[in-house]
Amino acid sequence: MNLASQTAEGFKAIFGHAPQGVWSAPGRANLIGEHTDYNNGFVLPFGIDNRTYAAIAKRADRNIRVATSFSQGIVEIELTDNKPEDLDWALYPLGVAWVMRAGLETGFDLYLDSDVPVGAGLSSSAAVECSVALALDNIWELGHTRQELALLGQRAENEVVGAPTGIMDQTASMLAAQDSAVLIDCKSLDTELIELGFGAKGLIIAVIDTQVSHRHSDGGYKSRRDACELGAAIMNVESLRELSEADLPKAQELMDDVTFRRVRHIVTENSRVIATVAALKSSELEKLGQLFEESHASMRDDFEISIPELDLAVETALNAGAIASRMTGGGFGGAAIALIDSSKLSELGDAVAKAFDSAGFSPARVFAVSASAGAKREI
C-alpha cells in the first residue's frame, strides 16, 4: 500500500468515515541560497521525493479535528477568529486553516502522514502547510493560485507558529517540478524552473542528515534576521538584495564585525545562486564544487549557522568523491547535501558512519533524493 492510500485508511480508522480526497506536498532541499529569502534575494530549492499526505473531509459544524500517524489522539478546536496557540505540531495545519478562515464555511477532519524527515532542514513544516492549503483550497473551491497558497503557508508559519521564515520553503513545495530546481526571486516572487540534468551524468543528490534537530522558532534564526535588517538600515536600503559585492567595503566601514559578516554572507550568497543557475544551464556541473564550497564556508564563518556535524558531513562527502557538497537549510543542525556519482552512495554512507563514530557523534542518516513534483491531489 502506498502512502497516499495508507493516509486515506488512517483517516477512516480515526474518524470512522472516508475522506473526500488525499493531497500531498514535498519537502524540499535547497541546492543553494541560504537565508537569502527573507532578504528579498535569490534561492534555488527543489522538491524532494519525500512527501506529506493530507486526507481531509468537510464537516457540517465549525469544529476542526486533526490527527496524524506520528502522534497520539485527536486535536480538536473550533474554527474562529481566535488564533490557535500552544498546540505543538498541530499549529502547522491549524495555522493554515486560521489564515484561510475567511474562505472556509465550516470545519473539517484532517489526517496527516509523512515520510519527510523532521528537523533535517528538509522543510517538513512547509510540506504540511502546502498539502493542507491545497486540500482546503480544493474542497472549498476557493480558487487560490499556487503562489497565493504558498504565501498563506508562510503566513501560518510566521503568524501562528512564530517562525520568521521567508517564502522559499512554501514556494518550492507548491511549484516544484520533476528533475528541476525552482529559481525564486524572493523580491518579485518570479520563478523559473531550472533543469538539473544530474541523472544524465549518473549523479544523484545525497542527503546526509546529521539527526541533530533544529527549530526555526528559536533565537538563533531571529538574531540572524535582525542582523540583516540592521545591516540594510545602516546601508539605507530596503533589503540586502539591493547591495552588490561592490558595496561590501563601505559596509565594513560602517558596521560592527558581526553585522558585517552577516551582510557579507547574504550578498555573496545571492551571487552564488546566480552563478549556480548559469552553470546548470550550460551543463558545467564541475563549477558547482567551488560554489558549494564557498557557500558552506560563508555559512560556517560569516553567518555562523553550521555545526561540527555538518562540517564533518561536508568534508567526508568530498573525500568520498562528491563533486560538490554543502550544508542545506536554516542551520543549527539538519542536513548537508552532496552531488555524487550514484555508484558511490553506499561508499558515502560507510564513510559518514565511520567519520561520525570516530568523532563521537551520534549516527547520521544518508539517503538519496530526487527532484519531485510540487503539491498535488493524490486520490
Catalytic residues: 169
> How many Cβ atoms are within 10 Å of 40's Cβ, its own excluded?
22
**β partners of residue 340:** 204
Cα 97 to chain centroid, rounded: 20
Q: Which three cell numbers stand for residue 100?
A: 484561510
Side-chain-side CA neighbours of 285 within 13 Å: the count stands at: 21
> How many Cβ atoms are within 10 Å of 314's Cβ, its own excluded?
25
Type of residue found at 127: A
Rg of the chain over Cα atoms, rounded to whole angstroms, equals: 21
User: Which distant-in-sequence residues (6+ apart) come within 8 Å of 265 by Cβ?
Assistant: 35, 298, 299, 302, 303
**β partners of residue 191:** 184
Q: Helices (DSSP H) in 282-376: which residue ranges?
A: 288-301, 308-319, 345-358
